[in-house]
Amino acid sequence: MSHVMQTYGRLPVAFSHGQDSYLFDTDGKRYLDALSGIAVSTLGHNHPVLVRALAEQAGRVLHTSNLYQIPAQEALADRLAALSGMSEVFFSNSGCEANEAAIKLARYYGHKRGVEKPAIVVMEQAFHGRTLATLSATGNRKVQAGFEPLVSGFVRVPFDDVGAIEQLAVSNQSVVAVLLEPIQGEGGINVAHTKYLQALRRVCDAHGWLLMVDEVQCGVGRTGKWFAHQLAGITPDVMTLAKGLGSGVPIGACLTAGAAVGVFGPGNHGSTFGGNPLACTAALTTLEVLASDDLLANAVARGQQIRDGLAAALAGVGALVAIRGEGLMIGVELDRPCGALVGQALEAGVLINVTAERVVRLLPPLTFSEADATALVETLVPLIRNFVTA
């Protein structure tokens, strides 16, 4: 019996190594990685520039402490600030921790403004993590059930609904922030309209609320912009990042701008590992390669290729509800639960995922080539066709 706690239903495969967009299992079988370990392996596998940078950093120092100056952390914060137009960065090790920082910051901001019980607006179908506060912010009962009492102070509204937010602005005096994913990942690749994000920015400005975007899944180049909210031309007050930031080395970040700047001072928040030299080197190198190899443009082109390819090949398939997403964050919604496709794709040598029961989720590395994208479409199409006619 495994001594690993059974918190995951795992597929019967283990990988020994990877190269570019491919992973190889312990029997030597090759798999096209169209998931990137859920939007993590930004640069694919065994990227020579990243491997060299990590080896070099490991040979110097892995960890010091946030009790000391960390030059790589300063450099990474500078880079993230330049790319986002935001001001400050707190480094964590994961997405949920980045969101915990955002939630704490919003509450602190509220208290400083004299709001006794600050509330944060969150969305239906949202996913923000598995800690108590972030699962309470999550809009999925399956994630919450059995863990009550939940953390209080969240108000839920429908996603992408301007009216619901305007209503709250009138009815709820305790709101201090809005937290949302510009593109919901776990919730089924639901893309917020540009107009909605712009309206949120206006409502937040009008009421002194912090606009907080969870870009743990959609950030770091995946949509073809450095950050997904840039598609709407807005700047949030708080942004959280993780998944793709370190290309597989755990790192998260909580960035602030505008009214959120300076809310936290010494002693208000912390992390032992957060932003250590190894993790910051991974993130700095990821950002460097994204820029030098024009991988944001690649995300746009490959994403278009995959969506167009699937749309053309699945035209007339009645069970197809929608193909949506931005760049290399793609959802293919069917009219029925389709979790079985994951195992069938694995058999066929392609790694995919299904979320929200009916949505095939594709999150390939941003290094995905034209040939990789062609291979993905050619493998997926017959699987989906067979699945819906079987």
**Which residues are near ligand PLP by CB under 6 A?**
94-96, 99, 127-129, 181, 185-186, 214, 216-217, 242-243
Query: Rounded to the nearest whole angstrom, what is the least distance from the CB of residue 353 to ligand PLP in the complex?
Result: 12
Query: Rounded to the nearest whole angstrom, what is the least distance from the CB of residue 40 to ligand PLP in the complex?
Result: 9
Query: Rounded to the nearest whole angstrom, what is the least distance from the CB of residue 127 to ligand PLP in the complex?
Result: 5
Instruction: Say if CB 61 and CB 277 are below 8 A apart.
Output: yes
Sheet architecture: strand order including 30-33 = 15-19, 22-25, 30-33, 350-351
Residue number, 309 or 327, with CB nearest to ligand PLP: 327
Residues 6+ apart with CB under 8 A from 7: none
Residue number, 210 or 314, with CB nearest to ligand PLP: 210
DSSP strand E in 215-285: where?
238-241, 252-256
Length of the chain: 390
Residue number, 100 or 383, with CB nearest to ligand PLP: 100
DSSP 8-state secondary structure symbol assigned to residue 151 = P
Residue number, 237 or 375, with CB nearest to ligand PLP: 237
Q: Which residue of the chain is nearest ligand PLP when measured via CB?
A: 95
Rounded Cα distance, 237 and 232, in Å? 14
Reference 360, options 350, 374, 371, 373; nearest CA is 350
Residue number, 246 or 309, with CB nearest to ligand PLP: 246
Q: How far is CA 362 from CA 36, 88, 159, 191, 352, in A?
A: 9, 32, 22, 14, 6
Dig out the tokens for 278 from the structure.
Answer: 């190894």
Query: Rounded to the nearest whole angstrom, what is the least distance from the CB of residue 365 to ligand PLP in the complex?
Result: 16
Residue number, 79 or 130, with CB nearest to ligand PLP: 130
Query: Rounded to the nearest whole angstrom, what is the least distance from the CB of residue 309 to ligand PLP in the complex?
Result: 25
Q: Which amino acid is at 15?
A: F
Residues 6+ apart with CB under 8 A from 386: none
Distance of CA 388 to the CA centre of its chain: 29
Query: Rounded to the nearest whole angstrom, what is the least distance from the CB of residue 185 to ligand PLP in the complex?
Result: 4
Query: Rounded to the nearest whole angstrom, what is the least distance from the CB of residue 80 to ligand PLP in the complex?
Result: 17
Count of CB atoms within 10 A of residue 349's CB?
15
Dig out the tokens for 139 from the structure.
Answer: 């809009």
Residue number, 253 or 376, with CB nearest to ligand PLP: 253
